[in-house]
Chain A
Amino acid sequence: MLLARLAFAAVLAALAVADYLPSSRILVVSDDGLELSRYALFWSSLRERGYDIAFKSSKDAQPPLRDHDTLVFDHLILFAPSSKSFPPELSPQSLYSYVKQGANLLVVLSPDLSEFWRDFAREFDIDFDDRGHLAIDHFTYSPELDDGSHTTLLIPLADAPTPFISPATRAGPPLLYRGTAHAVGRLPLLTNILHAPSTAYSYEANGEDAPTEDLYLSGSTTGLVSALQAKNNARISFVGSLDLFSDAFASAPVSTSAGSASVRSGNTAFIADLTRWTFGESGLLRVEEIRHARTSDGATADLYRVGDELVYDIDVSALQDGSWHPYLADDLQLEFTMLDPHLRLPLTTSSAEPTSSTTASRFSARFHAPDRHGVFTFKVDYRRAGWSFIDEKTVVSITPPRHDQYERFITGALPYYGGAASVSVATIGFVVLWLLQ
């Protein structure tokens, strides 16, 4: 009996520990002939961050990605650009339902990508160039690694978008890239993280032919790395280069500017940032606390009266560079809606008011409840590229004043009160005088 109890407690403790672990299981699906040892630095960096990595060939029977409603693997890295068909566990439909359940995908492709991936990417409004086409740039190639085809590009990271790539990486050395390019569509959930320099184009890289016909992709519209955040905050990143993850590129020296000492490429830092973002280690917004109250007495209620001055506070923190920070922004908005927004107000940070914790910044708005009674919703719907979405709704009722809550004696009406009183006094005085005579 005691033993059973102990065992039960041990199971509970194990479950509790498992709860605290970060989402840490990654399945890597690779092409049959791909030498995974070429990417050893990448795998070891992931393992250092606490991930369990399972490797499978795309030809193998796959373990199930999910078991009923729980994810067996939290993230999926697809290193299988040239595979034409996949087992049913990796069909587009099952990848879709996998993402729908909140899993993240890192899709790494290469110039010999199969039609399967081209179709898959098209679903996300990403259109990869023809098979065998590479991003080429005759001006910004890496002189050390290039074989003469000018396809090993040296991409500066200075203008990579902010929550995806950390400031340290942006300030660091440029990135080495050798791979295919894609066109980025207008899907609002899609963000282009990295594009080629304005002198680049996408073409067959046999080194001899100059492009004679119209190019599909050229200049800075040549997308290299793009990412999409689904409405459930699941993240999907598309990278057009396998070599970007290779040890050879990660440890290759690059010369940042003429004459300066050559440093190691920015690939390691870029990969770390990209995988952090894709696997939900950065770019997360968390609502710490929501509070709404009447300003007159500071009381939170389910019912507010028409015309009450209300205050709404929301504490938001952001996960960036491995820790939670106060989120700083000036574009949060509060909507006070009943069917339609009756009020849409900017939420401003106020340093004067103390926040619930030092890791969150407090945004607040003050307003008078509209002269309309009904069921209203405090709504903060905040969607910014790279940040997980905030969609917070709090329902309150706005009621008209009760019969005894109206203002009773109004200074503007004093002449009327005085008039009535003087009539009474005069009448009583008259009655007295009448009776006395």
Chain B
Amino acid sequence: MAPKRVVSRSTADSPSAVAAAASSSASTSKPAPVISPSAIAKKQSVVSTNAGFFSSLNGLWSSYLDTTPKNLKLLDSLQLFLMLTGIAQFVYCLTITNYPFNAFLGGFSATVGQFVLTASLRSQVNPANKEVFPTISPERAFADFVFGSLILHFFVYNYLG
């Protein structure tokens, strides 16, 4: 929230910034607010910033949908799923029971470990990182991922009890 406020003040103060904000929120049909007396300027600026924030989120989402390759989207959905599962188990452990603790360790570390493996696979197959991993082909990265997953699951199921 705090950075947004900073932005809103700057928009209220300078007309060029207001124009920039208005142009960025292209989807809104409202005309850009004209500079007004300072009493009403604050209220209007809050409205315009909220709109700007959501519109920027929308922009981020649409650009993610447009520009991200399909295989990275698949990886991202897996990572989201792992994160939610891990959080659910951690909340269960905190609020209800951690007995047997080994089962908690097994279940929770499965999500964490798989998340880490997925993150490494994602960074290695991302075309934007080609210069960072010049020697690792996507096939090699996927094979590493499968090998690491097998080892991880071996330990996880031993821990579960």
Chain A interface residues (CB < 8 Å from chain B): 408-410, 412-413, 415-420, 422-424, 426-427, 430-431, 433-434, 437
> In the complex, how many angstroms separate the beta carbon of A427 from the nearest chain B beta carbon?
5
The distance in angstroms between the C-alpha atoms of A424 and B149, with both chains bound, is 9
CA distance A412 to B103 in the complex (A): 10
Q: Known contacts A416-B106, A420-B156; can you find 20 more A-B pairs with CB under 8 A?
A: A409-B161, A412-B96, A412-B99, A413-B99, A415-B88, A415-B89, A415-B92, A416-B92, A418-B107, A420-B107, A423-B85, A426-B114, A427-B78, A427-B114, A427-B149, A430-B118, A434-B71, A434-B142, A437-B70, A437-B71
- Report whether A413 and B71 are in contact in the complex, using a CB–CB cutoff of 8 Å: no
Q: List 19 A-B contacts (CB under 8 A).
A: A410-B99, A412-B97, A412-B99, A412-B100, A413-B104, A416-B103, A416-B107, A419-B86, A419-B89, A420-B107, A420-B110, A420-B156, A420-B157, A426-B81, A427-B153, A430-B78, A430-B118, A433-B74, A434-B142
Question: Which secondary structure characterizes the binding site on chain B?
Answer: helix
Query: Are A423 and B111 touching (Cβ within 8 A)?
Result: yes
Which secondary structure dominates chain A's binding surface? helix
| Chain A positions within 8 Å of B110 at CB level | 419-420, 423-424
Query: Which residues of B, 12-28, contact A by the 8 Å Cβ criterion?
Result: none
Min CB gap A136→B, angstroms: 78
B70 to nearest A CB, angstroms?
6
A416-B108, A420-B110, A434-B142 known; A410-B78 Cβ under 8 A: no
Closest CB of chain B to A425's CB: distance in Å? Answer: 10
Query: Measured between alpha carbons, how far is A420 from B159 in the docked complex, in Å?
Result: 10
Distance (whole angstroms) from the CB of A200 to the closest CB of chain B: 72
**Bound CA span A433–B142, Å:** 12
Measured CB to CB, the closest approach of chain B to A298, in angstroms, equals 30
Give every chain B residue within 8 A of A427 (Cβ-Cβ): 78, 114, 149, 153
A-contact bits for B26-55, CB 8 A (1 contact / 0 none): 000000000000000000000000000000
Near A by CB (< 8 A), chain B positions 76-102 give: 78, 81-82, 85-86, 88-89, 92, 96-97, 99-100
Q: Would you call B161 and A408 a contact (CB within 8 A)? A: yes
> Is the pair B146, A410 in contact by a Cβ cutoff of 8 Å?
no
| A415 partner residues in chain B, CB cutoff 8 A | 88-89, 92, 107
Q: Known: A410-B99, A433-B74, A437-B70. Is A423-B161 also a contact (CB below 8 A)? A: no
Complex Cα–Cα for A161 and B157 (A): 71
B160 within 8 Å of A by Cβ?
Answer: yes
**Would B81 and A416 count as touching, CB distance under 8 A?**
no
A413:B100 contact, CB within 8 angstroms: yes
Residues of A near B82 (CB, < 8 A) are 423, 426
Smallest distance from the beta carbon of A60 to chain B beta carbons, Å?
Answer: 82
Chain A residue nearest to B97 in the complex (CB) = A412
Q: How far is the CA of A423 from the CA of B107 in the complex (A)?
A: 9
**Which residues of chain A have C-beta atoms less than 8 A from B161's C-beta?**
408-410, 413
Contacts of B157 in A (CB 8 A): 420
Kindly state the interface size class of chain B when it binds its partner.
20 to 34
Whether A420 lies near B74 (C-beta < 8 A) is no
* Also in contact, A419 and B100, with CB within 8 A (given A426-B81, A427-B114, A430-B78): no
B111 neighbours in A (Cβ, 8 Å): 419, 423
Q: A412-B97, A419-B89 are in contact. Are A424 and B153 (CB under 8 A)?
A: yes
A417 touches B160 (CB 8 A): yes
Give the complex CA separation of A409 and B157 in angstroms: 13
Contact B74–A419 (Cβ < 8 Å): no
- The chain B residue sitting closest to A428, CB to CB, is B149
CA distance A416 to B107 in the complex (A): 5
Q: How far is the CA of A419 from the CA of B97 in the complex (A)?
A: 15
Residues of B within 8 A of A418 (CB): 107
CA distance A408 to B85 in the complex (A): 23
Kindly supply a per-residue 1/0 record for chain B positions 128-150, scoring 1 wherever the CB is within 8 Å of any chain A CB and 0 otherwise.
Answer: 00000000000000100010010
Residues of B within 8 A of A413 (CB): 97, 99-100, 103-104, 161
Q: Do A417 and B99 form a contact, CB below 8 Å, given A422-B85, A427-B114, A434-B142?
A: no
Minimum distance in angstroms from A406 CB to a CB of chain B: 8
Q: How far is the CA of A437 from the CA of B125 in the complex (A)?
A: 14
**What are the residues of chain A within 8 A of B99 when measuring CB–CB?**
410, 412-413
Contacts of A410 in B (CB 8 A): 99-100, 103, 161
Residues of chain A lying within 8 A (CB to CB) of residue B96: 412
**A residues near B86, Cβ cutoff 8 Å:** 419
Residue with the greatest number of chain B CB neighbours at <10 A, chosen from A408, A417, A427 = A427
A419 and B146 contact, CB distance less than 8 A: no
When distances are taken between beta carbons in the complex, the residues of chain B under 8 Å from A409 are: 161
Provide the residues of chain B in CB contact with A426, threshold 8 Å.
78, 81-82, 114
Bound CA–CA A437/B71 (angstroms): 8
Which interface residue of B89, B96, B107 has the most chain A CB atoms within 10 A?
B107
